[in-house]
Structure 1
Amino acid sequence: MVRAGVLAILARDPHVEVVAEAGDGYEAIALTRRHRPNVVLLDIQMPGLDGLAAITLLHRELPGVGVIMLTTFGQDEYVTHALEEGADGFLLKADDPRELLNGVRAVGAGGAYLSPRIAGRVIAGMRARRAALPHRPLERLTERERQVLAALGSGLSNAEIASRLHLVEGTVKAHVSAVLTKLGVRNRVEAAISAYQAGLVTPRPH
């Protein structure tokens, strides 16, 4: 029933094509290997292999596939684990159905997307950590690292950042790692939020 509801929502967008639906985590992995979709929707709790374990496998084997967690479980530990393991989005089943379409479009385009309620908690957590460690200004970043941070805020992948800045992808990965460390953030989503807060990226109108 839940999958039928998700399919009905996605069918509203003529640019979204559902290529497969899985009944458990192992099937989700197998179908992703077969179809190589732009976006995979996973739940925290799935039969066979749970969504968090599935993210780890997908991120390791198929890093170009965007992964969105769509779940009823929005506890901070689940959000943190999912994002650290490579999830590009985190949505709640109780969200407005439009958030699902917005998330699929954003992640399909190479960006990231959080449920508004989840995003609010992520920002609050970042602010709390920065209050505890107040001396983490953007001034610690080099000019190149600022450019990389701005690109992260725009939702670009490492390959896209490399192309924009005329760098090799390995160098971009090193810069991304340095940016996360210097800002004291845990993942690309938090780095993107930092870019917006610092005014390095202007939000696009809806």
Structure 2
Amino acid sequence: MVRLLLGDDHRIVREGLKQVLADAPDVAVVGEAQSGPEVLAQVRHLQGTLGLDLVLLDIAMPGCDGLEVLQILRHEFPLLPVLMLSTYPEQQYAVRCIKLGAGGYLNKSADPDDMVAAVRKVAAGGMYVTPATAEALASAMGAKAAAAGSKTAAAGVTALDALSHREHQVYRLLSTGQTVGEIGAQLKLASNTVSTYRARILEKTGAKNDVELALLAERHARNATQL
């Protein structure tokens, strides 16, 4: 029996996922969480009682996003498999999730049979990779090889993996030339909050300003298409 913790901040999504998984007699949802901190609390509790075989975790979680939760789980429970779940395309987040230690990346629009197959494979210690994820991984390897010739470029591209989900969102918008105010309005964040994210992004990537961020984004995109 696969004992699973489901982490998603939307109740209707959790109910839909539970309905899909209910058709698998060897899968049991033993816990639910609607925020990052709640996922961590539930894992710590369940690991000491029922035990867990898998965490099915959404990326966009309040309190502490899924990528941050994944890193904490990898540190505290290195043997506990985590399958990431999102509405974002594989090209945007699958590679980052796998690099951070996820056992796979699944889009919420996936076929129910594929979802059950992914749960079983990752819970058993395997890696679930869709064709789109495989292509994204191959492109990332090509980008890494292309950047290897430039120490500065390689450092900047690698630093992108260290960005949290929200930081990555802000980075993508900054690199397109949007202002702090425009980003705040789009993401429903206060301008000073966006400014804080911007400062963290600049520190992590080594970029001095938004122009350098745009150049980093352009270089990263170009390298990813050179395969």
Q: TM-score, with normalisation over the residues of structure 2?
A: 0.54
Identity across the alignment (%): 41
Alignment coverage as a number of residue pairs: 133
| Alignment correspondent of 2:35 | 24
Write out aligned runs for 1:33-112 (5 A). Answer: 33-36=44-47, 37-74=52-89, 76-112=91-127
**What CA RMSD, in Å, does the superposition of the two structures yield over aligned residues?**
2.1
Query: Which SS does the other structure have where 2:42 is aligned?
Result: helix
Structure-2 residue corresponding to 1:3: 14
Alignment of 1:145-164 (within 5 A): none
* 1:78, distance to aligned residue in structure 2 (A): 2.1
Contact 1:99 1:115 in 2 (8 A): no
SS, match of residue 85 in structure 2: strand
Deviation at 1:130, TM superposition (A): 6.7
Equivalent residue, structure 1, for 2:194: none
Shift of the alpha carbon at 1:77? 4.6
Q: Give the number of the structure whose alpha-carbon radius of gyration is greater.
A: 2
Tell me how far apart the structure 2 counterparts of residues 76 and 18 of structure 1 sit (CA, whole Å): 29
Is it true that 1:118 corresponds to 2:129 in the alignment? no
* Mapped contact 1:59–1:86 kept (Cα < 8 A): yes
Give the strand-richer structure, 1 or 2.
2
Name the amino acid aligned to 2:37: Y
CA distance in 2, matches of 1:127, 1:96: 30
Gaps of 5+ in 2: 1-11, 149-227
Measured at CA, do residues 102 and 2 of structure 1 come closer, stay the same or move farther in structure 2, by a change above 3 Å? same
Query: Structure 1 residues 7 and 116 mapped into 2: Cα distance closer, same or farther (>3 Å)?
Result: farther
After superposition, the C-alpha distances for 1:107-136 in whole angstroms (9 at most, x for unaligned) are 111111023322233235446767999xxx
Q: Which runs of 5 or more structure 1 residues have no equivalent in the other structure?
A: 134-206
> TM-score normalized by structure 1?
0.59
For residues 158-202 of structure 1, what are the alpha-carbon distances to aligned partners after superposition, in whole Å with 9 as ceiling and x for unaligned?
A: xxxxxxxxxxxxxxxxxxxxxxxxxxxxxxxxxxxxxxxxxxxxx
